[in-house]
Copies of this chain bind each other. A is one copy, B any other.
Amino acid sequence: MAPMSEPAFERLDPGQAAGAPLYRLAKQALLAAIESGRCPPGRALPNETALAAALGISIGTLRHAVDELVAERILLRRQGRGTFVATHTTDRFVFQFFHVERSDGRREAPQVELLSFERGRLDEEAADALGLRAGEPVILVENRLALQGRPVVYDRLTLPAALFRGLTEKRLRERPSTIYHLYQTGFGITVVRAHERVRAVGADRTAARILGVVPGTPVLQVRRTALALNDKPVEYRVSTLWTAQHDYVSTLSPAT
């Protein structure tokens, strides 16, 4: 008889990947459970003893796997409560991807304003970043972010339509939290990492108008490729930052 619903975790088969340590198999199993939706973001994992038993491994080996996922901020452990799949609503997660700070060092959540939402075709630059072919259908989103009531960031997002099937301007506009939280809850896409390339340019007419500066004003241009759990690119974003009163901050930490 087939089980009523498939269990979230099954006994690991060490023969799967020859030579791979058990704890890495466990890590992959956890990632697969999250990615497939069997363990959605916010959900608590089974407790360590139960999970280790289900996977057929020792508790120490399981902890090794979980340790790595916690370091990557994919899981979150809280003593006495449990181990949870991280969500993009926690402050730490939000600021992992928002690197703009007031010059005095204070952090502030931006007010986001949707400027445009339309469908189009992938251009060469974004195709290269996303690892797709130019011409594929995409969704193009423009946002303006204000800090202390003043426009500071102008974002242009390129999203592969295939990954965001069903995304509408209404859903985007009415999202209760961050845009990455919407990716996560609405489309099963968890952004866990991003690469950014930064350069200084003179503001073009469009950016100047949107940011309320004179064309040619030096501004930061940040080109971001955001990666999901499976390390596949899911978003390409070009941000233009007015850095007269704010900075782009970065910590040169060992993880780099």
Contacts and interface: CB of A to CB of B under 8 A. Distances in A.
How many copies are assembled?
2
A224 B202 CA distance: 23
Contacts of A73: 254
Interface stretch (A14-22, A114-122, A244-252): A244-252
Nearest to A246: B199
Contacts of A193: 251-254
Nearest to A194: B252
A23 interface: no
A250 B250 contact: yes
Given A198-B250, A199-B220, A253-B253, 19 more contacts: A73-B254, A99-B250, A99-B252, A193-B251, A194-B251, A195-B252, A196-B252, A198-B220, A198-B248, A198-B249, A199-B243, A199-B246, A200-B201, A202-B218, A218-B218, A224-B252, A251-B255, A253-B255, A254-B255
Interface in A95-148: 96-97, 99, 101, 103
